[in-house]
A and B are shown apart, each in its own frame.
Chain A
Amino acid sequence: MYGFHGRLLHVDLSNGQSFWHDLEEARLRAFLGGIGLGTSLLYDYAPPGVDPFSPANPLIFASAPLVGTGLTTTAKFAVVTKSPLTGFIADSLSSSYFALELKRVGIDALVITGRAAGMTYIFIHNDKVELRSAAHLRGKSPVECESLIRAELGTATARVAAIGKAGENKVRFATISNEGRHAGRGGVGAVMGSKNLKAVVLRGDHATEVADPAGVETIAGALRERSLGSLTDKYRKIGTVANLAVFNRLATLPTRNFQQSTFDDADALSGESLTENNFSRRHGCAACTIQCERLFKALNGEEQRLEYETLFALGPLCGIDNPDVVLRAAQLCDHYGMDTISAGGTVAWAMECSERGLLPQTQKLRFGQADDLLAIIPAIAERRGLGALLAEGSRRAAIEVGNASEYWAMHVKGLELPGYEPRSLKTMALGLAVSPRGACHNRSGAYEADFSGDVDRLQADPGRGAIVAASEDYAAVLDSLIVCKFLRKCFSDFYGEGAALLSKVTGWECSGAELKRIGERIHNLKKLFNLREGWRAADDWLPERLLSETLPTGVAQGAGLSANELRQMIGGYYRARGWDDNGFIPDEKLNELGISL
């Protein structure tokens, strides 16, 4: 088999046993790798209705056909499990050398079930699997784990994905971190913590063969060249932090828990200001020509990676206008291994509730107060005081607090909203409402339509359904090949070029239409998993605040979104998907997609 190894490794932490299983080509062709393969395996390995913290909930690391081919931006892997934050699918991506090593150990996926008796790490060295004690790593940050484990194993090239204290303490938005990057959303780190699994360590020598090396190199060379042109200027020259000033000007920058969509002090936090005042170094993933990461100088002298989502969530969303504070808060989240979006979103909810007198005043939380923010992050990771409540995420915390505080919990399906204001980005509003993993900006790029001029971003209409569905399918293919989204503008015909590339890697005769259909299939399977886990129509919805309040400032002043508008857009989406009016998938659709239960 080309492009794949054709097998997975299943490690059962409860009994310490490991098994290799063949992965049939039909499954790989139907779902590719990454998110697609992970979703397919989740559906099979997770017992229906499983508790996310149950030993039976599988934690799946999935590689993909383009990984290791040398194609720029493809050093990525997926982590898929049932989310402790949403109760639905959690599918996160991370990248760099760990991704390459996952392929090198000779598997397409690693499925972990069970629970170790004590804190453990898994060391996979080609065909050898070892469970080792991680008792001495308890409380360590992922970065500390990486160096300690390498020293312990005596190999500087072992690749480590680890959890921090937040994962150990099952903070429901804990991450799994490798090389400073994170499989960030949905609490995959908490699932890992629930298994007493501190780290997965890889060292491999297996090469992946491709069907047509020269053909792959020709396409890879062309994409590499395009990736260095103006189409990726933003990522190469500033990074995603460039979004902040633009979003502020377009009134799409969620501020103070979505009270408004502009931030008076956005200039100080803008990517342009950070670049001028705090820039330290440009960095990037393995095998990537774009090198989008920006490391900025933090006050303690260390370098800190910062992306737009972190900047928004720990900045304007919490009313923080000081870049040094945002950088420090980001350092803390990375140290403990927490999703910065959900951390910021949950803290912003708490700030609003605290200011409204709905929370016990033992630990003050006020918008714009640096000390409050910097004190609560460790408390969340360690589940201390108010932090124990916030470690549950905004949805559960709001239910616990009651007093109508759910109105201010800005989440979809339990996943906190990213930095895109739905009232001034109506296509994105729909994308966030219907996404299987909750309020997510990565599993669809619905915002692209709003930012393109193809639609009126301030108006809602049912026609957005088809746009969102197409965007989700497109993302599903990107996430399953895997190709980084920052390369997306470099394709002139993504499905055609992607199919040509996949054909040369795998030897399959794959068409653009087949690739497109694969995207639709993957998305439907995600939805099918959610349906099995209890999805109801009410889960595809937005927080009430967004449907009740209009935007008070900026160029979108007065923009709102009514429940009826949202309902109509969701109806349009279900129709575009070929689902019934209530969002359920008819059998004919499953048959059409070749999904058999």
Chain B
Amino acid sequence: MDDHRTIADATAVVLTGGKSSRMGRPKALLPFDGEPLIAHIVRRLGRVFAETVVVAAPDQELPTLLVALVRDQVAYQGPVSGIYHGLKAATKEVCFVTSCDAPFLNLSLISHLLSQIPDWDVVVPFWQERFQPLHAVYRRSVAPLLHEQLERNELRPISLYPKVRTREIHEGEVRRFDPEGLSFLNMNTPEDYQEAVDRWRSGKSSELEINGADGISVSVELFGVARLLAKTKSVSLSLPQDATLASVFSALTERLPVLLGRIINSDGLIAGYTCNINGLDFVRIPSAKVNSGDKIFILSADAGG
């Protein structure tokens, strides 16, 4: 993907100030992958976005975070206030807004949302009959309208959408990047939390794949039968530094098990399929090294005809 540049020009805004009433304890502090959930989210977003802003409640307890931290004036005023304060604190023109309880972010989908913003003020997914305002991209220029909403006590973010140029990302469009909509999976109850932890541990949905010090990121583009099976055009993967095509195949089949046995098996690509790296090199051998930022195409070995 060419989206790293776009993301570098954007701010990530994380809202943490919810009540956590159904959870029974502060969501931001729930242990997740060996650290508080908010630290986990912020650390991973920080690898991708040029800037991260965390919006917290006035007296909310948080771990030390190396981010811009802003606090709502009024506790538990809701997401409109959180978004408003996040946009106000951001220095970039475009902000991706999320909440601290959605760990299964997906870089491909986020990149797609960001790629739409040049012609719009808000880019928001519509998933399972609902807008997803806390997984959306906002232009900073909408902040005054949010402020007016707060003054009118209009506390639902969707009240903003008819007033500005809003790009709705419909469900089918979302599925191209995130077939199961895991990006919108958040945690409201202890059961949700346990399920998320299990899912995370099973390694099936480490969806925010980013290029960090401890690994590399690559994108895989699927063509032909692979695309039809996976019902998606591309996925991003985070891999260890010394990753090879074998690592790509392994991570890919974890993400998209439908490819197992049909496109990829334990030895690599099955007969009839091949890889191309960055549009230049055709490679099939699993030991081939891959580098951060590589774009790996999986296609029929029988090109032409």
Contact = CB atoms under 8 A, between A and B. Distances in A.
Contacts of B274: 453
Contacts of B300: 233-234, 242, 246
B282 A452 contact: yes
B224 A271 contact: yes
A441 B224 CA distance: 21
Interface string A543-562: 00000000000111000000
Nearest to B304: A447
Contacts of A245: 223-224, 227
B304 A448 contact: yes
A407 to B, nearest CB: 27
A234 B279 contact: no
B305 A233 contact: no
Interface stretch (B85-93, B101-109, B265-273): B265-273
Given A229-B272, A233-B272, A275 B228 contact: yes
A555 B280 contact: yes
Contacts of A65: none
A243 interface: yes
Most B Cβ at <10 Å: residue of A250, A275, A276: A250
Given A237-B228, A271-B224, A452-B282, A243 B271 contact: no
Given A238-B228, A275-B228, A251 B279 contact: yes
Contact of B224 (A250, A272, A485, A554): A272
Nearest to A251: B279
B297 A272 contact: no
Most A Cβ at <10 Å: residue of B224, B271, B280, B281: B224
Given A233-B300, A238-B224, A242-B223, A555 B305 contact: no
Most A Cβ at <10 Å: residue of B221, B227, B302: B302
A327 to B, nearest CB: 20
Given A230-B271, A246-B297, A556-B279, A420 B223 contact: no
B272 A486 contact: no
Interface string A158-189: 00000000000000000000000000000000
B251 interface: no
B283 interface: yes
Given A243-B305, A308-B305, A249 B297 contact: yes
Nearest to B280: A555
A452 to B, nearest CB: 6
Interface in B99-144: none
B303 interface: yes
Q: How large is the interface on A (under 10, 10 to 19, 20 to 34, 35 or more residues)?
A: 35 or more
A249 B297 CA distance: 9
A232 B304 CA distance: 13
Interface in B217-265: 221, 223-225, 227-228, 262
Most A Cβ at <10 Å: residue of B272, B273, B281, B284: B272
B301 interface: yes
Nearest to B224: A242
Contact of B223 (A231, A249, A453, A554): A249
Contact of A441 (B227, B283, B304): B304
B60 interface: no
Contacts of B278: 555
Contacts of A485: 305
B7 interface: no
Contacts of A247: 303
Contacts of A237: 224-225, 228
Contacts of B280: 458, 555
B279 A233 contact: no
A230 B272 contact: yes
A451 interface: yes
A240 interface: yes
A233 B272 CA distance: 7
Q: Which 4 A-B pairs have the closest CB atoms?
A: A555-B279, A453-B282, A451-B303, A234-B300
Interface of B: 221, 223-225, 227-228, 262, 270-274, 276, 278-284, 297, 299-305
Interface of A: 229-235, 237-238, 240, 242-243, 245-247, 249-251, 271-272, 275-276, 308, 420, 441, 445, 447-448, 451-453, 458, 485-486, 489, 554-556
7 contacts: A230-B271, A230-B272, A230-B273, A231-B272, A246-B297, A448-B304, A458-B280
Given A234-B224, A486-B305, A556-B279, 16 more contacts: A229-B271, A230-B271, A231-B271, A231-B302, A233-B224, A234-B302, A243-B303, A249-B297, A272-B223, A308-B305, A447-B303, A447-B304, A451-B282, A453-B284, A489-B302, A555-B279
